Structure 1
Amino acid sequence: MLKVIQAPSKYIQGAGALRSVGQYAALLGQNCLVIADDFVMKLTSDTVGASLAEHGVKGHFSLFGGECCRKEIDRLGAEVGKHGCQCVIGIGGGKTLDTAKAVAYYQKLPVIVAPTIASTDAPTSALSVIYSEHGEFESYLIYPTNPDMVLMDTEIIAKAPVRLLVAGMGDALATYFEAQACWDAHASSMAGGESTLAALALARLCYETLLEEGYKAKLAAEAKVVTPAVERIVEANTYLSGLGFESGGLAAAHAVHNGLTVLEECHHMYHGEKVAFGTLVQLVLQNSSCEQIETVMDFCVQVGLPITLAQLGVKAGEGLEKKIMAVAEASCAEGETIHNMPFNVTPEAVYAAILAADRLGQAWLS
């Protein structure tokens, strides 16, 4: 199998970065469709409009309807044609960015994505999650290339709810452990081949950055200020984790996250919060050392990520075993990334690892 690594063509990050969007958009076209939801549009349109005008770029602003669905993608695609746009700029959260990527793909145009939060590692990736008009998952749309540019304004991100930044740390926490498992198993990543040394090194750096900077970044974000720690965590959550997961591979942690979605009690939890617990489950599943497990649990407690089922909303009591087995079975569904682990994984093994991880978390908290 070939080794493959992929990444956005350009990654831009810093306080006030959105004020430079016109400079970078001008490299891609002189007429851009800007997509954002109502809240983000009110927050950023003056800044974006002034930056585009400063660099001689026309901006046509279109409100995102709220769902990354075929109807919305087609509607915004028609806006591209109506205004003769040469570039798409998506500003906001995950569904806005996924929609911008899809519009650009179908219209054969370059795209700039500018996240206003750092809650997942999806912005750099070559895919979108497509939903129905009612918000039900339909499919993944895989692209031949990553976004042309990813622009992270840490000034805006630092003012977002702190829980979102912490959730991004939870998503990023899994990156190294899953990439290492895929490396050991010679498994194929989402980039379409085995991992490279570069991807594995980025995944490892992501983990090391979380441990070193995560708590400091959380405290700074609570004060809504940008510090070197915030800058490094935004990069870890977005770029290091994004390249690490896409070109390094996913394994048990994200599969357990997917399994947890079968429980209604977990629906209020963010993606990265469930991934953090899934990381602990993977460490148990692969029988990692006590030192490694304790390091991960200590980090999670410091920044506010869940390490027990109760913290996810899953309470002890009658029917718990049945619920956890349902999670384990969903985690081991055909095609799930848990099968990238370097050993055979069964629902029974995942069931045991979930309950053991929960006990470890309870003991650590007590």
Structure 2
Amino acid sequence: MSDRRDDVMRVLSANHLKDYGVKGPSLAESFARRQASCLVVGLRNSDKSGVLLQLLDTQEGVNQLITGMESAALLLGAEKKILFIPEYAIHVKERIETFVSAAGIEVRIGLIDVREHEDSVICHLVTMLEIAECLEGTYEESIYVSVNGGSLKRVSPDTSVGDLIGRKEGKGVLIGNRIYDNHALEMNLEEIELDNGMVQILGENDCMIRLVEKDLLENRKRSCGKCVFCREGLLQLHAMYKDTAEGKGKNHYPELIREIGLAMKHGCLCSLGQNGAQPALGVLEHFSEEYMAHNKRKKCPAGVCFLKSVIYIDPVLCTGCMECLDRCPAGCIEGRPGYIHMIDSTECTGCRACIELCESKAVMETEGKLPKLPERLVKCGKFKKR
């Protein structure tokens, strides 16, 4: 057993293999200094695309995963091996579980809880396949990349972003969890932290503010909520970007976004929180003019925001008659008799039925900035505009 361990360590040292996406000591050095009873393998918690799971589409990929995990466990002295598959890819678990379970690998669904596994060694899924390649003598230093959700391909680390995407026209590019302007086209993949293998070209019709707002909302839904910086940070960042997209941004938001983003990077335990603010920070760094256009001038350069008229209920004129609630086909109006009614603009279809029937003319439509509205049900006549 010790001879086999020495052979594996020697091969990994010769190939200078590192854990996927990590700039630090080689894997052999890390394993030589660390023993653990459990090996945990999966994607980064911040990986929402899952494109790297394409590596398990073939039986060869599954076999390499098993070989890599068995070899890593041997080096660590780990008796337990756990493979985590994201919730959005449960079909992958169903397809490979029979094979990996036969090798003594437990498959779990969800995020990797770093608290639960603080005494374990956590490695990336890609690293396990690369270990197998080292042992097979086929390993070549490369990076897996998917452009715009396409099939994975392996490219040299010194490949420039521009060459990778064919110098296609666009105003920026999303690389991993980071947003860049077109200056990134001159950078090579080794300079950029490509933590999920995903490169997406951003065109003139892509609104950076809306893109980040949706990304933050998705991270909020995926967060386990155990880290205060992650839970509260994502909540506040999402609220600020949502406000900005709706023309309600405040002057102090950029400074606060930077402060929260830095706190999340250093205060969260897993990559979901550590990288969760990166798109929000990237917009301020590389697309500050687009951000300020939303925040100051209430204009969207991409033509995405502020075009759709918004229907709302004037809190001063509303009499709480309940007529609009009964008439709304989308059921997006909330209220009680005698209380100021509220419209959920995300559910409103814009049919204008409520405008036509409101005798007090309280239901209004605007393409500009919304006035101060109640955030909860308030009795008619009691709402104060500040």
- Normalised by the length of structure 2, the TM-score is 0.29
Q: Relative contact order, CA 8 A, sep 6+: which one is greater?
A: 1
Rg larger for = 2
Identify the structure with the greater helix proportion. 1
